[in-house]
Each structure stands twice: as C-alpha cells, then as structure tokens.
Amino acid sequence: MRLAGLSIDVDSVASHLEGYGFERPTDDGKAYEVAIPRALDLFDRYGARCTFFMIAEEAVRFPDTVREVMQRGHEVASHSMTHRLPFSNMDAERRTRETNDSKVLLESLSGGEVVGFRAPSWDLSPDLFDALVDAGYRYDASTYPSFLLPLLRLSVAHRSATGTTKTESSIFTGVFGPTKVHRRGDDGRYLAEVPICTAPFTRLPYYHTLRFLLPSPAFAALSAWARTRRGPITYQFHAVDFLGVEQDELDSRIARHPGMSVPLDRKLELAKRAVEELASRRHVVPLAEIVSATFAPTPEYATTS
C-alpha cells in the first residue's frame, strides 16, 4: 500500500506568540494537556500513526504524555530545545543544545530513539546539517520547496506585533529545492531530508494550515492533486489545530493565527476530514517510516514509489 507520512508540530501557544513578535509568555501547557490527547484519539480512530515534533524544554513538564505518544505507536522527534527565534542565529554552544541536547532529553522522556528533527519556522542555517549529523539524527524535515514560502513569511509579518518575522534565513531559502524525500551530504555524512509536501509540478504546498488560508474549493482541489503523487506524501498539523481560543481559555492574542477564529467543533471536524482523506487510500505512518521505506524498503512497503 502507498504511504502517507503524518506529523504534528507541538508548538505551544507561547512559542507561536513569540513568532508573532510578542515577548514569550509562560507556556500554558494546553498543547500537551489538551491538544495531544485529542490528536491521539483521532489518529487511533483511523489507524494513523504520526510523528510528534516536540520542543524539549516544554515536553519535560509532561513526561507521561510524551511516553504515551511513543507507547501508542507514534514517533517522538525534536522540534529543538527551546524554539527560540530567530533559530538559525546561534553560536556553536547553543546549536548543540538545540539539536543534541534536545534529542537526548526527548529520548529519556519517551523511552525510545529520536531520529528526526524539524527546525522552527523552517529557519535553516548552513551549520545545521553538520549539527544534526553529529547529534545522530537520521532525517530532517525542515525544508519548504515552494514559492509560497516567501508569501507565508510575509503573511506572518503582517499579522505580527512588530510587522516583521523572526528569521535569519532569506525568505527565498529552499524555494527551488528538491520536492521528494532525498539524501543530503557526502563523504559518508548523510541525512535524509523530508520536505513539506507539494502538489506535482506546481510546488503548491499541502499541509493543514492552508485549509484556513485558502477558499474551501481551492484547498479541496490542492488536496486531491497532492494525493495523486505516486510516491509517499506527507501532511503536517500544528498542536493549535486541536485547540479553541475560547473553549480552551487560550491567550486571546493567538486569535491572529490561521484557524484560531474557527469554532473548535469545526476545527476538529476539519482535522478528522484530513486524516480520513489520507487513510482512505494510504497507510498513514510516522516520517521515520517514510524515510526507511524510501531508502531501505521492506516487502510491506515495496510498492511505495
């Protein structure tokens, strides 16, 4: 059966607000206490398994939740130690903390191996590859090979408190990069790269946030087109896609984030529809299994490409 890789960035409301230019408030814990349980129950309903990219500094407060994610057959991966922005503007000591130390901490919390990494806000630096290889990761999922990336960052700037985005990368970094799962590196230092999913030929990105930014017919067409890919596809959620501003008593400033003005019941229905679409014709698995199937296919996954 063909594969779909599912992931969710477990960004706290606090980390989102920092991305919008506010001073980072104290984490309210709702990403772990409310969003993850809702996501786990939904995924279980469809036999879908997911990669949970966690901010290690926040995850450490919720060890039971982190362990439950792993025990229920999902993958725990690193979304850095702190999710501080701009992410790529850091010295070697901080880079080690954000990559290596986050991996070690998440492994101790989950009781399993952490092999994947996703940089906050797709904010990459030339030194990040070496840091990830040195830390022992097998794959990175930080690239966004679409012309919509500059528009996305400009949109974030428009919604932010300062009128800017906290990123060191050029807004055009990676726009024309490979769109398929591929290997990066040389001289024996390799890392698999899992880009954000794009529709064939168009480089139009396919992930959940766009459900709230595009008209429904346009996203439905994009979804159908993206799912025609012969090889594995991927789909990305954020934890706030499972939260409601009023119902979950969130900081009201997060209402500027796409989808946060949508009633919670409607949001959960849209999440259900997304997983249902993926599971209807594909085996929904964590990103680590997409990487394994691409580079060392087992008989079960031999028809994925």
Give Cα 247 to chain centroid, integer Å: 24
How many angstroms separate the CA atoms of 181 and 233, rounded? 9
DSSP string, 7-63: EEEE--HHHHHHHTTSPP----SHIIIIIHHHHHHHHHHTT---EEEE-HHHHTT-H
How many angstroms separate the CA atoms of 229 and 266, rounded? 28
H or E element that contains 191: strand 189-193
pLDDT for 157-213, tens place per residue?
Answer: 555 556 555 555 544 566 778 999 999 887 778 899 999 999 999 999 999 999 999
b/e string for 3-40 if b means 16 or more Cβ within 10 A? bbbbbbbbbbbbbbbbbbbbebeebbebbbebbbebbb
Question: Which of 72-86, 114-128, 212-226, 271-285 has the weakest average pLDDT?
Answer: 114-128
CB-based contacts of 71, cutoff 8 Å, min separation 6: none
How many angstroms separate the CA atoms of 146 and 220, rounded? 19
| Of 133, 118, 114, the residue nearest 79 (C-alpha) | 118
pLDDT value at residue 234: 98
How many angstroms separate the CA atoms of 36 and 50, rounded? 11
List 52's β-bridge partners, or say none: 8, 76
Beta strand pairing call for 3-10 and 116-117: unpaired
> What's the chain's average pLDDT?
89
Percent of the chain with pLDDT over 90: 72
pLDDT for 207-265, tens place per residue?
Answer: 999 999 999 999 999 999 999 998 999 999 999 999 999 999 999 999 999 999 999 99
| Of 72, 30, 41, 36, the residue nearest 53 (C-alpha) | 36
Q: How many other β-carbons are positioned within 10 Å of the β-carbon of residue 83?
A: 28
How many angstroms separate the CA atoms of 164 and 115, rounded? 32
Report domain extents, the chain: 3-301
pLDDT value at residue 36: 98
| Of 215, 122, 212, 136, the residue nearest 174 (C-alpha) | 122
What's the CATH code, domain 3-301?
Answer: 3.20.20.370
DSSP string, 255-272: GGSTTTTS-HHHHHHHHH
pLDDT for 272-303, tens place per residue?
Answer: 999 999 999 999 999 999 999 999 765 554 43
Once rounded to an integer, what is the mean pLDDT over residues 75-85? 92
In 160-244, alpha helices (H): 210-213, 216-226
Please give the structure tokens belonging to residue 7: 């992931």
H or E element that contains 77: strand 75-78
Once rounded to an integer, what is the mean pLDDT over residues 109-115? 98
- If you search the block for the tokens 């966004």, which residue do you land on? 144
